[in-house]
């Protein structure tokens, strides 16, 4: 008797050209290395839509909005839209401490920390230019009195772990971040408090503006 199919995450949008999902934290976007890492959003989507193809990814620990293309031509068009920065992404995070300003930007070059992969790091000599804009949504204290800031994040570039490294680099790591938060900030959340909440892009078939939204679960 075969095992039951893994559940499909909530479908936010679906037509003959484009799919959008609310990926839960803890689910891979694409298969990893090894037989124990084959379950992923892409595999679950293809079980229902065999022509579903990957366009971009979210970290396993990050939740939220992710799109897939239906067919090679739609994949090409969507990939070009991401590469040409015709898309606008918004994330929500809860970070350690209170950000001093109400808005700003972080421009720090990033590169893979090869001895400690998959970690990334700031490298002013050979890192790739990376830019994140941010805006404070709320400042508060958690149940133990620790200061925290809820912040909207607008990545201009799309480097691996960009938001996580940029916030850690300015002294405000994302709560629950197993890779970049110090132990105290890691312990304050049961998961990485980072969620892809909005994506605006041209529809790959019509070119018409498409605005997708997915509210955070935290």
Q: What digits encode the pLDDT tens for the residues 135-153?
A: 999 999 998 999 999 999 9
Q: Is residue 216 part of a domain?
A: no
Q: What integer is the mean pLDDT of 124-144?
A: 97
Please say which residue of 56, 86, 116 terminates a domain: 86
Dist. CA 131–CA 113, nearest whole Å? 19
Tell me the pTM: 0.95
**Catalytic option among 15, 22, 59, 96:** 59
Residue 60: helix, strand or coil by DSSP?
Answer: coil
- Structural domain for 105, as ranges: 90-194
Same domain assignment for residues 32 and 46:
yes
The count of domains in the chain is: 2
Non-local CB neighbours of 11 within 8 Å, separated by 6+ positions = 19, 20, 21
Structure tokens at 83: 């590469």
Q: Is residue 206 part of a domain?
A: no
Q: Are 95 and 151 in contact (CB under 8 A)?
A: yes
State pLDDT tens for residues 178-190: 999 999 999 999 9
Same domain assignment for residues 81 and 102:
no
Same domain assignment for residues 102 and 81:
no
15 tagged catalytic: no
State pLDDT tens for residues 77-87: 999 999 999 99
Tell me the CA distances in angstroms from 6 to 42, 65, 90, 176, one per residue in order.
12, 19, 28, 26
Write phi, then psi, for 184 (nearest 5 degrees).
Answer: -65, -45
Same domain assignment for residues 76 and 150:
no
Q: Give 139's strand partners.
A: 149
Please say which residue of 65, 86, 107 terminates a domain: 86
Same domain assignment for residues 131 and 56:
no
Residue for token pair 């408090």? 193
Please say which residue of 37, 67, 86 terminates a domain: 86
Q: Is residue 43 part of a domain?
A: yes
């Amino acid at each position: 008797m075969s095992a039951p199919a893994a559940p499909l995450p909530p479908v936010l949008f679906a037509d003959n050209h484009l799919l959008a999902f609310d990926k839960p934290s803890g689910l891979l976007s694409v298969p990893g290395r090894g037989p124990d890492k084959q379950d992923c959003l892409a595999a679950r989507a293809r079980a229902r839509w065999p022509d579903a193809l990957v366009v971009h990814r979210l970290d396993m620990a990050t939740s939220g909005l992710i799109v897939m293309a239906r067919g090679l031509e739609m994949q090409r068009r969507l990939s070009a839209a991401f590469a040409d920065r015709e898309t606008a992404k918004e994330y929500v995070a809860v970070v350690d401490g209170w950000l001093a300003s109400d808005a700003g930007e972080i421009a720090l070059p990033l590169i893979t920390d090869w001895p400690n992969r998959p970690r990334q790091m700031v490298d002013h000599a050979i890192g790739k230019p990376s830019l994140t804009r941010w805006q404070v949504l709320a400042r508060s204290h958690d149940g133990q009195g620790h200061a925290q800031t809820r912040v909207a994040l607008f990545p201009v570039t799309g480097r691996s772990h960009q938001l996580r490294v940029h916030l850690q680099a300015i002294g405000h790591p994302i709560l629950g971040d197993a890779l970049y938060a110090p132990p105290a900030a890691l312990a304050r959340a049961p998961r990485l408090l980072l969620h892809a909440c909005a994506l605006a892009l041209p529809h790959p078939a019509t070119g018409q503006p498409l605005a997708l939204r997915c509210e955070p679960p935290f």
